[in-house]
Amino acid sequence: MMESFSKPKPLKIDLGDYFFLFFFLLVSGNTTSAQNQQLEERMNILWLVTEDMGHYIPSFGDSTIATPNLSRLAEEGVAYPNFYSTSGVCAPSRAAIATGMYPSSFGANHMRTNSYTEVTGLPAYEAVPPTEAKMLSELLRAEGYYCTNNLKEDYQFKYPITAWDESSPYAHWRNRKEKQPFFAVFNFTNTHESGLFEPYGFRAIENRHYHSGDTSFHWEKGKMTEEETTIYLSKETEFSIPPYLPQTEVVQRDLWKMYNNIAEMDAQVGAILAQLEQDGLLENTIIFFYGDHGGPLPREKRLVYDSGLKTPLIIRFPKKLRAKQIDAQLLSFIDLAPSLLSLVDVKTPQYMHGKAFLGRYATQEKRKYIHAAADRFDGYTDAIRAVRDKQFKYIRNYRPEQGYYLPITYREKIPSMQELLRLKAKGELNGIQLQWFREQKPTEELFDCQNDPYELYNLAENPKYRAKLLELRTEMDRWLTQIDDDPTLSEKELITKLWKGEKQPQTQPPKVVVEEGMIQISCSTEGASIGYRLKNNKKTNSWAIYNQPFSLKEGEIIEVKAHRIGFLPSEVIYWRETDYK
């Protein structure tokens, strides 16, 4: 782990530095009269998001593979070692990030809501957040930000047309209007568990394309051999294998792949940072790097152990403010949306569960607990909830009669998983490695994550920890009540609850009228976002967010569409006021 550094020395401020003083005060969460200054320039926000990422990089204590670009970000920024996903898998986690809400509070907890219907016998559905809920990107667009996503769109619901200016493999801040502030998300897939599949170099995602402005990386299934990949580590490297995996050559090879994949991802991060510097935007951009949940290995991904939830977070602030610091406060994925809004001077909406840890509205009360859930994964269902403080984790299993291990076909493509199953069949796994394959599990579990980081020794029945068990059990009950999460509800019952019936509700068509020469648009579906754009506008395909009346030139035609998250979108309305001047 990096050593802890003291706070930066006070900045010498001249007239050209007022903006950075203002920003420093926002980052620190302090209030001052400087915050009331009218500033023309606003900070850009860049998210660099990788997949299936545990603390496997030097900035978080693991120096197995060099990651010069991520290490640079940590050297020039702040490392957050206690950052947790709300789920050990991507789609529910992304739902939490996009909304600032716990996925199990609005039906986003099953992986995925639109898949494995042939197994579950259920219809494809979408999570339905509260009426007032909007995606973070739409809230930032409403503040004047140009918002792009490259490329993941896996939110457990179809994103409204108002969510992004562009979401595609080609989305980039370079497509924005001159001097417009941007929020740009780049997703890196190298570290995904499919990167461990054999033959190594072929990706399970059949056509993986990453494009960023002038720089592109392209892997196509069947066209990249192992010899064509860049070897960052020798195959003879001895890796430290966690105790829940067998100490075999097969597992060693998977670790070799995992670290090489991290090196590939780091190189792509470097390409984005190089573009940011080429554009002269480095010191006007807040850079976030994080993973979508914990690691890719068996007994990591999909579980509520720290190995499945804990992921690195690095934030680099302009002018290297707070450089080399380590901020050990507990943080959850649901805190990202409130924090970004706070950085652009917007209060946290009441429906959000998260707390801002940055910006003007940063909370003075640090988070005491993080919470997580595990439900259906592909065709197999469980019901687990977890709560963790700085040291202890409490897990409640709602299906104790069911074993922990779920025979998920996708995961069993990983050679390490195959190795576990092979050795289990031969009776060659030790007691620790067999824990995952228990035919039943306790209703309650309690782990001392500080002294038992792999969460192997259940303390729930130990009288010495009775007070901590009661504390976290009580917190679990409070949390479930607060977010209206009933883990005993079947997925079929959940769908009926979300739809308030047996059919997915649909957003009503928008209505367009002219009053006093101005176009006014409304929708009778409460909470619907309304988007519009000029038909056949060759300059942009983006849908503008309707928030106030506007004028049209004679003969212009607009397309209008409404969409409440979780509902079916409305039909597109084409409208023209032929005699409007």
Instruction: Assess if residue 161 is contained within a domain.
Output: yes
When pLDDT is averaged across residues 106-130 and rounded to a whole number, the result is 97
Structural domain ending residue among the three candidates 317, 346, 364 = 364
Strands 146-150 and 166-167: parallel
The answer on pLDDT for 137 being more than 60 is yes
The 10 Å CB-count burial string (b at 16+, else e) for 181-214 is bbbbbbbbbbbbbbbbbeebbbbeeeebebbbbe
Share of the chain above pLDDT 70, in %: 87
pLDDT bucket at 232, cuts 50 / 70 / 90: confident
pLDDT at 14 over 50: no
Least confident of 164-168, 234-238, 411-415: 234-238
What is the pLDDT at residue 382?
98
- Per-residue pLDDT, averaged over 503-525, amounts to 96
CB atoms within 10 A of CB 136: 21
- Is residue 64 predicted with pLDDT exceeding 70? yes
Q: Let me know if residue 90 belongs to a domain.
A: no
CA distance 140 to 152: 18
Directed axis angle between helix 90-99 and helix 336-343, to 10°? Answer: 30
CATH number at residue 202: 3.40.720.10
| Residue 43: pLDDT over 50 | yes
- The whole-number pLDDT of residue 554 equals 85
Give me the pLDDT at residue 201, please.
Answer: 75
Range with the poorest average pLDDT among 28-37, 140-149, 374-383: 28-37
Note whether residue 404 is domain-resident: no
- Which amino acid would we find at residue 518? M
| Per-residue pLDDT tens over the stretch 359-383 | 999 999 999 999 999 999 999 999 9
Of 1, 8, 3, which is closest to residue 81 (Cα–Cα)?
1
Q: Catalytic one among 90, 147, 449, 523?
A: 90
* Residue 90 a catalytic site member: yes
Residue 214, pLDDT score: 43
- Cα distances (angstroms) measured from residue 444 to each of 383, 395, 470, 472: 13, 6, 11, 11
Residue at which a domain ends, from 364, 382, 407: 364
Looking at the structure of the chain, the number of domains it has is 2
**What CATH number is attached to the domain comprising 541?**
2.60.40.10
**The residue type at 258:** M
Indicate whether 440 belongs to any domain: no
Q: What is the mean pLDDT of residues 200-220?
A: 45
Q: Which of 14-23, 254-263, 427-436, 561-570 has the lowest mean pLDDT?
A: 14-23
The mean pLDDT value for 118-135 works out to: 97
* Structural domain that includes position 155: 15-30+42-80+125-364
- Split at pLDDT 50, 70, 90, the class of 492 is very high
Percentage of the chain lying above the pLDDT 90 cut: 84
> Between the CA of residue 314 and those of 27, 75, 78, what are the distances in Å?
14, 10, 6
Q: Which range, of 19-23, 24-28, 362-366, averages the lowest pLDDT?
A: 19-23
Tokens at 406, concatenated: 């779920």
Report pLDDT for 209: 41
Instruction: Work out whether the CA dihedral 264, 269, 273, 275 comes out positive or negative.
Output: positive
Q: Mean pLDDT for the chain?
A: 90
**Confidence band, pLDDT 50/70/90 cuts, at residue 520:** very high
Q: How large is the average pLDDT for residues 321-336?
A: 98
How far is residue 43's CA from residue 65's CA, in Å, rounded to a whole number?
A: 32
User: Pick from 364, 381, 396: which residue ends a domain?
Assistant: 364
Exposure string over 523-555, b if 16+ CB within 10 A, otherwise e: bebebbbbbbbeeeeeeeebbbbbeeeeebeee
Mean pLDDT of the region 165-169? 97
Q: Is 318 helix (H, G, I), strand (E, B) or coil?
A: helix
524 inside domain = yes
Looking at the predicted structure, is the pLDDT value of residue 276 above 70?
Answer: yes
Q: Does residue 491 belong to any structural domain of this protein? A: no
Of 110, 54, 459, 76, nearest in space to 297 by CA:
54
pLDDT-derived band at 223 (thresholds 50, 70, 90) equals: very low
Residue 225 in domain: yes
Phi and psi of 160, rounded to 5°?
-65, 155
- pLDDT value at position 31? 41
Closest CA to 405 of 428, 377, 425, 429: 377
Question: Is it the case that residue 8 has pLDDT exceeding 80?
Answer: no
Residue 415 domain-assigned?
Answer: no
